[in-house]
Each structure stands twice: as structure tokens, then as C-alpha cells.
């Protein structure tokens, strides 16, 4: 039997979805699932439910649980990662500490202080998984669902394992585009490429007809624009439509969450995901609701159709050769020519018997690549900080973050990072109590005399202009 190790299988509902998808795929129904989490409180619930489905549907699958990651990985053909280091407790600090400094996050899992600190907690663990895979299952393929996707996959790209990062952004955005242009989703021919949560639809056609004129016309109508103000604004000014909703995108750029006026203008619709702390509030609600309850106790045991998740389709393609196209996250290495080769890029991939085969896109439109680079700069430093344990690199990553830098001074950023490192130290062993060096404010007396230094002749001219102006 093929062996699928799920690391982070305590994510009960999501784990259940992936297992059912694989069981519902005829070519994969004889799969052995090994569910790994630090405790068996949740994985035992998943196993009990999966066993009921197997029995009710006469399937050949098998399910076991373990708290030993190496035991789960030994001999695995596929590894699925879906863990969250620190859980809701760490997430609360990711959101509430920056908010006290004035950095208002909606989702906080991809960029911004929240995304950076989630990467600091998660990258050492995913690299441990990769090292174990190199030893225990070197031919296995890792399917990653851990966020922040781009930073996690950037780190994985520096290992020897085969991997791909999976996200929902392209599928859900196509649903929206389909409804706006009035064309069935399955009939839209598209190319989407960029980075995770900032992929650009560079091509949108229907039987050869360009759909962009229709989409642009819709976004000039208030009834459509109001549903996606942030994404609509970026579309109107940068020329291409992008993955991710108002709540996500508003965090990756400096224009929409920098003050109360901007928040009120662009992120005032909580139902569309722009509210402050929307994702943390939801996660906290779910965690408390199901803390003692068996979420799967009353779930039906009939095998449902496959969901829209890519996982089962990819495994089917790798096992049978039935080609499956999807958008995935991999090490760039030339897939997008005007983004760094070592970064994580998201673009079209074909899965088949030969493995995961990425499509070479060429250059993105320059303005799109430039906006991607504002996020890639942060990702690079966050990955470096996670691996090195250098608190100064964390400060620098946050200082380059578009949202944080639109709100805080460098000194304020340093203070925020120091507080977050101290508050989250139990999940950040690589920093071992290290904090950014203090930088006290330099007080300048009103009558200070400037030190004698050489003056650039050009600056001297400007100084003379200043004197004349007086």
C-alpha cells in the first residue's frame, strides 16, 4: 500500500477533507494513512471517523496514529504538512502585539509581523521534517499546506526533497472572475503567476476572446467594486487582476490599512474579510467551540465527491499518469524570469508520472514583478532570520514590510519586534533569548552646534538656496 504521512493531523476538519478526497479516488483507495500530531487527542477522533468510513464503504484503506514524526515518515511515499506551531496562543500575540503599536492586520499569516513570526516558528520545524525525509523517505513528495506558504517553500527549496506548496487562492479567485464576466469557470483559459497570495492573471480568455475588457468594465460599477475594494483598486492602478481577497491583499501593500481613514474607506465591510483580526477571531472561536467536543462524531460516513483541494488530484496524477494542471508553489529557478531564482514562485504546474513539471512563464509585467518584489524582500530576510536566529534580521524583515513601514518608525519597529520575541520565546528556540540591540533616542538640544564635517558641494548650493529663501 502507498503510505501517506500527515504531519499536523490535529487539524481535524482539514485532515478529514484530505483523507476523504484520497479515499474517493479509485486509484488511491488502498492507501495507508499515518496521522501524526504531538498528542492523540484529535488524531484519535480522525482515525475513529475514517475507520467508520472505510467500514461503511468497503474500502481497502488503513489508518494509524502516532506522536513520533520519524515513525510517521519512515517509508512514506507522500508527506502532507498542515501544522501550526504555537496554535491560537501564538497567533493571538502575532495579532495583538502589533496592533498595540498601530499595525492593524486582518489575516496575519502571510506577511506583516504576523506572517514573519509564523515563519520564524514554522521554518525550523519544516526543515526538521525535510531532514527526516532525506533520511527516511528520500523519494517521497511533500505537499505543503503550512503558512506562510512562500517563506516555508523558500526554505524547502534549499533542501534536497521534492515538494510543492498548495493554496486555494487561484480556485477561489476564478470563481469570482467567472461570476463577474458571466462565463463558466471551466471555460476560462487563464495563466496565473507570481508569488503566493499575489499571483497575477496575465491571461483571461474565453474561446480566444479576451475577458479583461469585461472585467475592467465591471470594476467601474459600484455594485461590483464594493465587493472587492482593495483588489479592485490594485487592478485599476496596476492593470492586472490578482489572487487574494481584500482582507489578505490589504496587508501586503502600504495603501489600505495605514490609518483609520484608509481602513474606513477600503476595509469597512467585515463580511468581505477586511475587518481587523478577522482570521484570529475566527480561529479563536473554532478552537474554543471544539476544545472538548468531538467534531466528527455526527459526520456522515457516506463517501462524498472529491473537494476542490488539489491534493488527491496530484497524488492520482503521480500514481497513474493522468495529467493534472494546477497552480503550485516551488523554487522559482527561472519559472518567472524577472523574479529571483531562489525565491518561491507560484505558477502553473503539470503533475504526471514524470513528477511535478513547472511551466516557464517568462517575464511578468514589470509593475506586477515590482509589487511582488516588495513582498519577496521581506520573505528573504524572514527565512534568513528563521534559520540564523539573528534578531537583527527580524527587525530588518519587519522594517521592509510594506504595511509595518507605512505605520511605524524604525525605532518603533525595533521595540515591537523585541516585545514579540520575548512573548513568543517558547516557540522560538533558535533565538535562545536573544533580542534586538537597544537603540536609544538621540536627544538634540535646540542650540546644538553641528560638528565640523566636509560638505558636498551640491549640498552647499542647496544650503545657500535655503539662506536666500529666508
One-character DSSP codes across 288-317: HHTSSS-TTTT---S-PPP-S-SHHHHHHH
pTM of the model: 0.94
- In this prediction, residue 159 carries a pLDDT of 96
**In the predicted structure, residue 171 carries a pLDDT above the cut 70:** yes
* Local structure of residue 136 (DSSP, 8 states): H
The pair phi, psi for residue 387, each rounded to 5°, is: -85, -35
What does the pLDDT average to over 310-317? 96
Per-residue pLDDT tens digits for 260-306 = 999 999 987 655 568 888 889 988 888 887 776 777 777 888 999 99
Question: To 5 degrees, how large is the angle CA 345–CA 17–CA 38?
Answer: 80
**Per-residue pLDDT at 103:** 97
**Cβ distance 239 to 367 under 8 Å?**
yes
Q: Are strands 31-36 and 2-7 parallel, antiparallel or unpaired?
A: parallel
* pLDDT single digits (tens) 217-274: 999 999 999 889 999 999 999 999 999 888 899 999 999 999 999 999 998 765 556 8
Distance CA 120, CA 103 (A): 19
pLDDT at 344 (0 to 100): 98
Given its phi and psi angles, is residue 433 left (phi above 0), alpha (psi -120 to 50 degrees) or beta? left
Over the chain, what is the mean pLDDT? 93
Residue 210, beta-bridge partner list: 205
Residue 22: Cβ within 10 Å count: 24
Catalytic residues: 168, 252
pLDDT score at 470: 62
Residue 148: cis peptide before it, omega within 30 degrees of 0? yes
Q: What backbone phi and psi angles, to 5 degrees, belong to 243?
A: -70, 160
Cα distance between residue 34 and residue 68, in whole Å:
10
pLDDT digits (tens, 9 = 90+) for 320-351: 999 999 999 999 999 999 999 999 999 999 99
At the second CATH level, the architecture of 89-108+168-291+321-429 is Alpha-Beta Complex (3.90)
Burial of 418 (0-12, 13-18, 19+ CB in 10 A): middle
pLDDT value for 354: 94
* pLDDT given at position 313: 97
Domain boundaries, the chain: 89-108+168-291+321-429
List, in sequence order, every residue forming a beta bridge with 322; answer none if it has no partner: none
- pLDDT for 462 equals 66
**DSSP conformation class of 271:** G
Q: What percent of the chain has pLDDT over 90?
A: 78
Residue that is written with C-alpha cell 479563536 in the block: 284
Amino acid at each position: 500500500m502507498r503510505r501517506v504521512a500527515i504531519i499536523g493531523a490535529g487539524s481535524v476538519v482539514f485532515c478529514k477533507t484530505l483523507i476523504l478526497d484520497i479515499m474517493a479516488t479509485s486509484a488511491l483507495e488502498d492507501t495507508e494513512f499515518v496521522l501524526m500530531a504531538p498528542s492523540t487527542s484529535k488524531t484519535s477522533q480522525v482515525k475513529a471517523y475514517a475507520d467508520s468510513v472505510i467500514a461503511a464503504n468497503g474500502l481497502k484503506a488503513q489508518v494509524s496514529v502516532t506522536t513520533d514524526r520519524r515513525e510517521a515518515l519512515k517509508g512514506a511515499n507522500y508527506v502532507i504538512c498542515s501544522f501550526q506551531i504555537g496554535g491560537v496562543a501564538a497567533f493571538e500575540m502575532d495579532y495583538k502585539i502589533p496592533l498595540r503599536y498601530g499595525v492593524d492586520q486582518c489575516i496575519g499569516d502571510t506577511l506583516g509581523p504576523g506572517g514573519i513570526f509564523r515563519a520564524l516558528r514554522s521554518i525550523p520545524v519544516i526543515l526538521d521534517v525535510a531532514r527526516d525525509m532525506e533520511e527516511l523517505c528520500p523519494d517521497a513528495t511533500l505537499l505543503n499546506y503550512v503558512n506562510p506558504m512562500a517563506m516555508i517553500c523558500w526554505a524547502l527549496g534549499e533542501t534536497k526533497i521534492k515538494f510543492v506548496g498548495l493554496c486555494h487562492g487561484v480556485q477561489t479567485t476564478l470563481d469570482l472572475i467567472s461570476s463577474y464576466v458571466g462565463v463558466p469557470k471551466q471555460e476560462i483559459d487563464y495563466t496565473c503567476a507570481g508569488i503566493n497570495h499575489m499571483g497575477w492573471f496575465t491571461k483571461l480568455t474565453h474561446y480566444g476572446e479576451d475577458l479583461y475588457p469585461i472585467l475592467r468594465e465591471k470594476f467601474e460599477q459600484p455594485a461590483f467594486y464594493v465587493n472587492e475594494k482593495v483588489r479592485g483598486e490594485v487592478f485599476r492602478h496596476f492593470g492586472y487582476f490578482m489572487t487574494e481577497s481584500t482582507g489578505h491583499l490589504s496587508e501586503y501593500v502600504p495603501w489600505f490599512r495605514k490609518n483609520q481613514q484608509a481602513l474606513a474607506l477600503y476595509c469597512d465591510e467585515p463580511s468581505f474579510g477586511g475587518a481587523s483580526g478577522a482570521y484570529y477571531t475566527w480561529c479563536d472561536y473554532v478552537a474554543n467551540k471544539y476544545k472538548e467536543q468531538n467534531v466528527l462524531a455526527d459526520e456522515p460516513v457516506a463517501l462524498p465527491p472529491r473537494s476542490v483541494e488539489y491534493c488527491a488530484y496530484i497524488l492520482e496524477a503521480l500514481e497513474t499518469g493522468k495529467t493534472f494542471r494546477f497552480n503550485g508553489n516551488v523554487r522559482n529557478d527561472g519559472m518567472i524570469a524577472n523574479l529571483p531564482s531562489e525565491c518561491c514562485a507560484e505558477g502553473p504546474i503539470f503533475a504526471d508520472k514524470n513528477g511535478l513539471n513547472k511551466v516557464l512563464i517568462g517575464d511578468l509585467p514589470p509593475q506586477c514583478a515590482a509589487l511582488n518584489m516588495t513582498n519577496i524582500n521581506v520573505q528573504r530576510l524572514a527565512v534568513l532570520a528563521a534559520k540564523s536566529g539573528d534578531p537583527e534580521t527580524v527587525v530588518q524583515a519587519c522594517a521592509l514590510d510594506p504595511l509595518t513601514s507605512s505605520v511605524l518608525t524604525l525605532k518603533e519597529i525595533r521595540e515591537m519586534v523585541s516585545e514579540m520575541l520575548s512573548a513568543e520565546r517558547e516557540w522560538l528556540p533558535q533565538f535562545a533569548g536573544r533580542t534586538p540591540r537597544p537603540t536609544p533616542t538621540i536627544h538634540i538640544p535646540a542650540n546644538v552646534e553641528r560638528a565640523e564635517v566636509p560638505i558636498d558641494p551640491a549640498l552647499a548650493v542647496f544650503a545657500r538656496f535655503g539662506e536666500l529663501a529666508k
